[in-house]
Amino acid sequence: MDNGLIKSVEEITEYTIRIQEDSLKNEIQDTLLIAIKRYRDDDQIALQTRRTLFDNEQMEIDYVYDSSDRLKQEIVKMLTDSMPIKVNYSYKNFLLFQSSGIMDNATERFEQIENYYYRNNKTKEKSIMRQIFIDKETNDTIRNSTVITYFNTNKKIDSILSINLRRQGQNRKSVYESDRKNFIGLKEYNEKDSLLSNQKFEYKIDQFDNWTEKKIIENGTLKTMIIREINYK
C-alpha cells in the first residue's frame, strides 16, 4: 500500500526510545516520543498525534482529502499554540506538484514550500523544499535552508541534500540504503564528503510482514529503538 503497510490497519502506536549507558555500563532506556496514527477505511491516514515526553509538547495532525481521495491539506495543531499551521497540497496532471505551509503571527513567520519533479514515466525524481523562519521582534532570520530529496525508480528516498543558507559548513548529505521494503542503512556526510555517521537499521517483522521493532545502530552502537504496536482491521 502507499502507506507502507502490507495489511489494513486501524491504528499504529510508535514509541521512540533513546538507548544510553550509565557509568557502570548499564543500559538506560528513555522514551522520547509517542506517536499514534489512525487510518480511514480506505487505508489513508486520517489523524496523527505526536507527544514528546521530555518537554510534554503535543502535536496533532488532521489529514483532509479531496473528492479524488488525494491529500488536500494537513492541519497541524500544537497543544501550546492556538493557531494551527495549514499545509496545502496542489496537483498538476494528476501528480503532486507542490506543498506549502505558512505560519504568521505577531512575533514570528515560518514558510515551507516544497515542489516535486518527475521523470518521463511519471515516477517521482526529486523534491526541493525551501524553509525560512523569521523572528519579527528582532528581524532576524533564524532559518533559511533548502532541502533536496532524490528518489530512486522504486519510489524510495535515495539521498537528501540539506543546504544551510545562513551558516557555512553546515551542509549535509544523507544517503539511504534500502531493501525491497524498508530502509536498512543511512550514511551522513558533511559538505567536504567526510563521513559523519553510519547508521544501520534492524527490524523485527510480524506475521503480516510489517515491522514491529526497529533498531537504529549508529557507528556500531545501539542508539535508538522504535517499538510499533499495530491494530489490524
Q: How far apart are CA 106 and CA 84, in angstroms?
A: 14
Predicted confidence at residue 149, as pLDDT, reads 98
pLDDT band at 3 (very low <50, low <70, confident <90, very high): low
Mean pLDDT of 71-99: 91
Q: Is the pLDDT of residue 168 over 80?
A: no
Predicted confidence at residue 1, as pLDDT, reads 60
Predicted confidence at residue 2, as pLDDT, reads 64
Closest CA to 99 of 76, 123, 110, 115: 115
- Residue 196: what are its φ and ψ, rounded to 5°? -95, -40
Helix (H/G/I), strand (E/B), else coil: 31:
strand
| 187 in Cβ contact with 197 (< 8 Å) | yes
Show Cβ contacts of residue 192 under 8 Å, excluding neighbours closer than 6 positions. Answer: none
Per-residue model confidence as pLDDT tens digits over 133-153: 998 888 888 889 999 999 998
Mean pLDDT of 62-84: 90
Predicted confidence at residue 90, as pLDDT, reads 97
Per-residue model confidence as pLDDT tens digits over 21-36: 888 888 899 999 999 9
Predicted confidence at residue 105, as pLDDT, reads 82
Got the DSSP string for 72-135? EEEEEEETT-SS-EEEEEEEETTEEEEEEEEEE-SSEEEEEEEEEEE-TTS-EEEEEEEEEEEE
